[in-house]
């Protein structure tokens, strides 16, 4: 049974102010098998976050259905872990309390929470920072806390929305390596949103290339590259060239459509005048 | 040298005022009875507190009792205002339907100065502690309420998302995310509220109660004892300062996580 199943998802945003509807997602179907690492790749505004938010349960699809582990999604819940672009840590709690926040909600005693948090703090390499507050952490460290917090739920599915976008190149590389190591150890399904072709190719077992507005799946690519991924290898670059071509075509298509629209508009106005 | 200055920093301005005041009032620019010099005030105050030579007549040695009765009124009215202001503020900030039903009424009551409730407070509660407590409540309630609402509304939506993704129920969101997120704002309201609380206890005591620092102040005015009037004013100022300090202390304990991340946390 698939871990995540998206069936004919559409999403329309009502723009009340401009009295216009925006079709953000148009008929997306995806099925993610257990233990896959799926990267959603697409340009800004193409609906990656919207798609992920529907799996998370923050947004409801206008049409179609989302199931996780066979159960339809009807709201956020602890069966899925989420790592946000901004780490979104509770600034009033020290690192270990943030990691163990779920256990606080479950009413665990402090000593038990503290003990349970340690395993995940060690896993993301933050030993020694347990009692720091989020304001005292660097961006990369905050992101690690966010990941540890999601792992502690021990979820079958982890959703990540451009979690490394704000990091510098070196930190990003380290975090990508760590994430892959954690994923291999934990055996969970990851859906990872990114707009970087390299990142998708370094991390994923599958890459879904999305079209820009409305978002559709342009192509679902299976990656069978050996790990650790070698970004200078022939295979890696073949994939990269292929994806970049898709994106370029997509961009040209868009510009043509935009131009056609402008021309049509102009001729309409010309006819009216 | 620097260290010495640091420890005296906060005493410089009050000392300067006291010395200038002593000189002006001894120089005969004003009749001594209208502006008693600090030494005279201090003498009367000392007798009011310790009762050594009956300078303050009937009040001699009664300062602690007066200060306590004022403080109790502040504590009672302020306590009720703080608890109800925080609870109602969270409800208004969180649930739209509560906001729609309650907010207009509140916004209409808010501009009415608390002192204008004095006549009603007296006929409802008589001349005793209750009208004063009621007034203190009115004065402290609105600042706490408004700041709590603001704190809840400006809470980071992403934190709420993060918590609900970890399985938080609505009640848990309020308790574990919204309340702590609003806390800096709530404390701002509590600090404004404590000032209003002292102002209104004293006002109430001047007209509707027969004890406390405000009562002594007004009573001494009738007996032309301006030294005691000034001593009462100084007592109120000191107690207000002390209670604000207490709240600041509570605040720095509750908001210790802000250390280093805000401008305010630079304070010594
Ligand atoms: N709550 C909303 N209300 C109205 N429109 C929205 C809303 N959320 C997103 N949109 C629109 O839907 C489209 C897709 O947005 P989304 O945030 O999913 O893009 P994205 O692919 O995540 O982009 P980015 O890479 O910049 O994060 C955008 O055109 C955006 O304007
Ligand atoms: Mg996005």
* Strand arrangement, sheet containing A20-32: A20-32, A4-15, A63-68, A71-72
Q: Are A229 and A196 contained in the same domain? A: yes
- The CATH number linked to A238 is 3.40.50.300
> Closest Cα to atom 6, ligand 1: which residue?
A13
Range of lowest pLDDT (A3-7, A254-258, B163-167, B176-180): A254-258
Exposure pattern of A76-109 as b/e (b: 16+ CB <10 Å)?
bbbbbbbbbbbbbbbbbbbbbbbbbbbbbbeeee
- The CATH number linked to B166 is 1.10.3720.10
Record: contact B176-A105, CB cut-off 8 A:
yes
Q: Are A146 and A172 contained in the same domain? A: no
pLDDT of res. A171:
84
Record: contact B257-A82, CB cut-off 8 A:
no
Domain count, chain B: 1
Record: contact B165-A77, CB cut-off 8 A:
yes
Q: Is residue B113 part of a domain?
A: yes
Looking at A103, A138, A154, the residue that finishes a domain is A154
B156: closest chain A residue by CA: A88
CA–CA dist A178, A195 (Å, integer): 20
For residue A1, what pLDDT band results from cuts at 50, 70 and 90? low
Q: Are A149 and A15 contained in the same domain? A: no
pLDDT of res. B191:
95
Q: Are A93 and A195 contained in the same domain? A: no
Residues with a CB atom less than 6 Å from ligand 1: A 13, 22, 24, 42, 44-50, 195, 213
All residues of chain B having their beta carbon less than 8 Å from the beta carbon of residue A77 are 164-165, 167
Average the pLDDT over B133-139 and give the result.
Answer: 95
Q: Give how far A91 is from chain B: nearest CA, Å.
A: 7
Average the pLDDT over B212-228 and give the result.
Answer: 92
A153 vs B164, B166, B168: nearest CB: B166
- The pocket of ion ligand 2, defined by CB under 5 A, consists of A 49
CA–CA dist A234, B48 (Å, integer): 93
pLDDT in tens, B223-268: 889 999 999 999 999 999 999 999 999 999 999 888 766 666 554 4
Q: Are A134 and A167 contained in the same domain? A: no
**Among A38, A26, A44, A43, which residue's Cα sits nearest to residue A248?**
A43
Q: Which residue has the tokens 């003498």?
A: B43
Q: Which of A12, A46, A60, A165 best tests ligand 1's pocket when mutated (most atoms within 8 Å of CB)?
A: A46
Q: Are A126 and A224 contained in the same domain? A: no
Q: Are A58 and A165 contained in the same domain? A: yes
Q: Are A135 and A42 contained in the same domain? A: no
Mean predicted lDDT score pLDDT of chain B: 91
Q: Are A53 and A11 contained in the same domain? A: yes
For Cα atoms A102, A108, A111, give the angle at the middle one, nearest 5 degrees.
Answer: 110
Cβ atoms of B85 and B79 closer than 8 Å: no
Contacts of A42 (CB under 8 A, 6+ apart): A48, A195, A209, A210, A211, A212, A215
Domain encompassing residue A113? 88-154
CA–CA dist B222, A201 (Å, integer): 88
Q: Which residue has the tokens 């399904």?
A: A189
Q: Is residue B152 part of a domain?
A: yes
- Could you tell me if the ipTM is greater than 0.90? no
Q: Are A266 and A182 contained in the same domain? A: yes
B257: closest chain A residue by CA: A92
- The pTM (predicted TM-score) of the whole model is 0.85
A54: left (phi over 0), alpha (psi -120 to 50) or beta: alpha
Cβ atoms of A46 and A211 closer than 8 Å: yes
Domain count, chain A: 2
Q: Are A149 and A184 contained in the same domain? A: no
Domain encompassing residue B240? 63-255
pLDDT in tens, B86-107: 999 999 999 999 999 999 999 9
């Amino acid at each position: 049974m698939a871990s995540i199943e998206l069936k004919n998802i559409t999403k329309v945003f009502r723009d009340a102010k401009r009295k216009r509807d925006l079709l953000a997602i148009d008929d997306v179907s995806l099925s993610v098998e257990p233990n896959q690492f799926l990267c959603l790749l697409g340009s800004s505004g193409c609906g990656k976050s919207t798609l992920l938010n529907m799996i998370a349960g923050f947004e409801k699809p206008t049409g179609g259905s989302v199931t996780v582990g066979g159960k339809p999604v009807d709201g956020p819940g602890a069966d899925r872990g989420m790592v946000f672009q901004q780490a979104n840590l509770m600034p009033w709690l020290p690192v270990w309390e943030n990691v163990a926040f779920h256990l606080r909600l479950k009413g665990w005693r402090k000593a038990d929470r503290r003990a349970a948090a340690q395993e995940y703090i060690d896993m993301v390499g933050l030993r020694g920072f347990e009692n720091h507050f989020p304001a005292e952490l660097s961006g990369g460290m905050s992101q690690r806390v966010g990941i540890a917090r999601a792992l502690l739920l021990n979820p079958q599915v982890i959703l990540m929305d451009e979690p490394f976008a704000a990091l510098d190149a070196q930190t990003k590389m380290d975090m990508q390596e760590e994430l892959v190591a954690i994923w291999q150890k934990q055996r969970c399904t990851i859906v990872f949103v990114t707009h970087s072709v390299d990142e998708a190719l370094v991390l994923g077992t599958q890459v879904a290339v999305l079209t820009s507005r409305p978002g559709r799946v342009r192509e679902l690519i299976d990656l069978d590259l050996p790990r650790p991924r070698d970004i200078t290898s022939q295979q890696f670059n073949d994939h990269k060239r292929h994806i970049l071509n898709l994106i370029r075509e997509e961009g040209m298509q868009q510009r043509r459509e935009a131009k056609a629209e402008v021309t049509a508009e102009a001729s309409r106005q010309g006819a009216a005048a | 040298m620097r260290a010495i200055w640091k420890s005296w920093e906060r005493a410089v301005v009050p000392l300067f005022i006291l010395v200038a005041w002593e000189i002006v009032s001894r120089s005969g620019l004003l009749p001594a009875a209208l502006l008693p010099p600090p030494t005279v005030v201090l003498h009367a105050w000392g007798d009011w507190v310790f009762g050594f030579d009956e300078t303050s007549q009937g009040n001699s040695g009664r300062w602690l009792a007066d200060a306590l009765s004022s403080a109790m009124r502040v504590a009672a009215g302020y306590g009720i205002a703080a608890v109800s202001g925080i609870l109602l503020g969270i409800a208004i900030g969180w649930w739209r339907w509560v906001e729609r039903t309650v907010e207009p009424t509140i916004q209409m009551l808010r501009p009415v100065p608390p002192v204008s409730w004095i006549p009603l407070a007296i006929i409802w509660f008589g001349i005793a502690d209750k009208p004063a407590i009621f007034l203190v409540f009115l004065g402290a309630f609105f600042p706490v309420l408004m700041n709590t609402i603001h704190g809840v509304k400006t809470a980071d939506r992403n934190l709420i998302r993060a918590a609900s993704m970890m399985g938080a129920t609505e009640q848990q969101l309020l308790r574990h995310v919204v309340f702590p997120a609003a806390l800096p704002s709530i404390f701002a309201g509590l600090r404004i509220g404590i000032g209003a609380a002292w102002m209104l206890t004293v006002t109430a005591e001047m007209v509707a109660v027969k004890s406390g620092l405000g009562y002594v102040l007004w009573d001494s005015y009738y007996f032309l004892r301006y030294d005691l009037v000034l001593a009462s004013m100084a007592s109120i100022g000191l107690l207000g300062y002390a209670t604000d300090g207490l709240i600041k202390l509570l605040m720095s304990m509750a908001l210790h996580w802000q250390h280093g991340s805000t401008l305010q946390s630079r304070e010594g």
